[in-house]
Amino acid sequence: MIWSELLGLENVGTNENFFRLGGHSLLAAKLMNRVREAFQAELPLQLLFKEPTIAGLAREIESARKVGGGIKLPPIRPYPRRSTMPLSLSQEGNTLRLQLAPKCPSSTFR
Q: Which domains does the chain have, with CATH numbers?
A: 2-66 (1.10.1200.10)
Nearest to 34 by CA among 2, 76, 58: 2
Q: What is this structure's pTM?
A: 0.58
For residue range 83-110, what is the model confidence (pLDDT) as tens digits? 787 889 999 988 888 888 766 555 555 4
- In sequence order, the 6+-apart residues with CB closer than 8 A to the CB of 2 are 31, 34, 35, 38
